[in-house]
Structure 1
Amino acid sequence: MKFFVVLNAKNLKQYSFILVMALCSALFLFLQNSLHTPVFSTEDGPKAVYKGEKNIAITFNIGWGDEKAGPILETLKKENIQSATFFLSGSWAERHPDLVAQIVKEGYEIGLLGYNYKDYSDLEDEEIIRDISKAQEIFTKMNVKNIELLRAPTGHFDKRLLKISERFGLTVVHWSVDSKDWTNPGVDQIVKNVTSKAHKGDIILLHASDAAKQTNKALPILLDELRQRNLAFVTVSEMISNSSAQSEEIQ
């Protein structure tokens, strides 16, 4: 009986040591994630940012449509949101110069969403280069300057896009919280999709294309809930500036 007790005491010490080491490792990983800007990257350097260190970035994709972007801009103004990032396809911007001008006037940041809103993972390198180049030409003609951000039109990308974007001097931006507003799951669900996951440093994906029919109604509610958490709204560029980065290799 004594031998049985001693044996279990040894096992208990071993298990306690393993548990302590596991907790230390978890704490180390948590601190790493809290203090650095997570990125996707290739082995040799180019990166795609999807999360920052503090505050929160609201981003909107616009690929097509005539009806939803204007009301969303009005809602942001009414809610006194002075910092947001709009990723615009060149073809949409070309057809809606007045809305692009309004985005610029309100002081919001503009990033590229390509030109034709095609899935870059399905395109050859030269096709991707032409699409980005055409989008840049459109915004240059519209006198929209200093665009430094690129988002893959459908969200799908690989290491080829990271390397191509680096050649253009662009940073690829993904997201850490997906509202899934384009599926029109209901206002309450859109709010829940965001607020149940959003914390400091998150980049939130929303849409101002016509397919996202419920986003504008959900926007004031989710903005209010995020404000109650003392989260300040910043542009993506403001979020990622002056931050170190941890990398996760992407194929």
Structure 2
Amino acid sequence: MKRIYVINAKKLKQIIIIFTALLFALSIAYYERDAIAVFTKGKAKEPQAIYKVDTNEKKVALTFDISWGEMRPGPIIDILQEKNVKDVTFFLSSPWSQRHPETVKKIVEAGFEIGSHGHKYDFYSKYTDEEIRTQIGKAHTILTELTGVKPTLLRLPNGDFDKRVLQIANEMGYTVIQWDTDSKDWLNPGVEQIVNNVVSNVHPGDIILMHASDSCKQTHLALPIIIDKLRAQGYQFVTVSQLLAGSQLKLQEVN
């Protein structure tokens, strides 16, 4: 038995209108798909902190933070020169640098890279935007005057930052540098432990955290052993800037 379906003119008109509108929408989406993709791909990424690079080359960056004291920097600089390690990066606190211009001069003359360790040693994430800019700006002015070079790398005091700090640092021309291997020399756990903390965790593209402040009493004793052991493993020492050049960055997520 055959069935006959009857559609009145009004419903038929509605169906045609809906179908036509749907075809129009699909055609617009099809022709604009490339434009949509361009805007999506071109969306700016938020600034992030760099803690290592992705490379197969056995290159690592030794970094030293200095914010206090006058006893440790000299011996560490001497060891680096004795071991012919020319490419390392020092992150200098600007108040410390003002108090010890001769040591800063020695670092500059040795050809070591200098980054900023900020001005006031505090947790910048608790500051207002204006205060963050003030602290980074003060350090920038002081370090530029003392070294003759404008720093572009920033390691924040206490390694503390949030998205606001990263954004402001980026706007001021800085790349925030963290680390992937912590020597934990600041705990003074013993020379053997400091050496093990580095050697057992090091990897190609690593950024290694060490200190040259007086509170770190064993760094100068562990450093020559670390240098010898890493060289024996085939590692080459480079500055942070050299490590970043031409390498795929590994970024630290920030909530």
- TM-score by length of structure 2 reads 0.79
Structure 2 residue aligned with 1:13: none
Aligned with residue 229 of structure 1, among 215, 228, 233: 233
1:80-109 CA-partner distances (Å, limit 9, x unpaired): 101100000000011111111111111100
Task: Quote the Cα distance in structure 2 between the aligned partners of 1:82 and 1:121.
Answer: 34
Structure 2 residue aligned with 1:47: 48
Kindly indicate whether the alpha-carbon contact (under 8 Å) linking 2:50 and 2:251 is maintained by their aligned counterparts in 1. no
Structure 2 residue aligned with 1:175: 179
Structure 2 residue aligned with 1:161: 165
* 1:123 Cα deviation from its structure 2 partner: 2.0
Structure 1 residues 190, 247: CA separation in 2 closer, same or farther (over 3 Å shift)? closer
Mapping of residues 27-176 of structure 1, within 5 Å: 44-52=45-53, 53=55, 54=57, 55-176=59-180
Structure 1 residues 246, 70: CA separation in 2 closer, same or farther (over 3 Å shift)? closer
Structure 1 residues 96, 246: CA separation in 2 closer, same or farther (over 3 Å shift)? closer
Task: Quote the Cα distance in structure 2 between the aligned partners of 1:110 and 1:196.
Answer: 27
Structure 1 residues 123, 220: CA separation in 2 closer, same or farther (over 3 Å shift)? same
Task: Quote the Cα distance in structure 2 between the aligned partners of 1:142 and 1:249.
Answer: 33
Query: What CA RMSD, in Å, does the superposition of the two structures yield over aligned residues?
Result: 1.3
Kindly indicate whether the alpha-carbon contact (under 8 Å) linking 2:48 and 2:253 is maintained by their aligned counterparts in 1. no
Structure 2 residues not aligned, in runs of 5+: 1-43
Structure 1 residues 114, 167: CA separation in 2 closer, same or farther (over 3 Å shift)? same
Moved over 6 A (4+): none
Structure 1 residues 230, 46: CA separation in 2 closer, same or farther (over 3 Å shift)? same
* 1:170 Cα deviation from its structure 2 partner: 0.5
Structure 1 residues not aligned, in runs of 5+: 1-42
Larger mean CA deviation between 95-104 and 135-144 belongs to 135-144
Structure 1 residues 192, 46: CA separation in 2 closer, same or farther (over 3 Å shift)? same
Kindly indicate whether the alpha-carbon contact (under 8 Å) linking 2:183 and 2:210 is maintained by their aligned counterparts in 1. yes
Task: Quote the Cα distance in structure 2 between the aligned partners of 1:104 and 1:131.
Answer: 23
* 1:144 Cα deviation from its structure 2 partner: 2.8
Structure 1 residue aligned with 2:7: none
Task: Quote the Cα distance in structure 2 between the aligned partners of 1:161 and 1:202.
Answer: 23
Mapping of residues 4-23 of structure 1, within 5 Å: none
Task: Quote the Cα distance in structure 1 between the aligned partners of 2:251 and 2:146.
Answer: 35
* 1:249 Cα deviation from its structure 2 partner: 3.6
Q: Sequence identity, in percent?
A: 48
* 1:247 Cα deviation from its structure 2 partner: 4.7
* 1:248 Cα deviation from its structure 2 partner: 5.2
Task: Quote the Cα distance in structure 1 between the aligned partners of 2:49 and 2:200.
Answer: 24
Task: Quote the Cα distance in structure 2 between the aligned partners of 1:101 and 1:120.
Answer: 28
* 1:117 Cα deviation from its structure 2 partner: 1.4
* 1:245 Cα deviation from its structure 2 partner: 3.3
Which letter maps to 1:83? Answer: D
1:27-81 CA-partner distances (Å, limit 9, x unpaired): xxxxxxxxxxxxxxxx833121110224000000001111100111011111110
Task: Quote the Cα distance in structure 2 between the aligned partners of 1:208 and 1:159.
Answer: 28
Which letter maps to 1:45? Answer: E
- Which protein is bigger by CA-based radius of gyration? 2
* 1:217 Cα deviation from its structure 2 partner: 0.3
Structure 2 residue aligned with 1:22: none
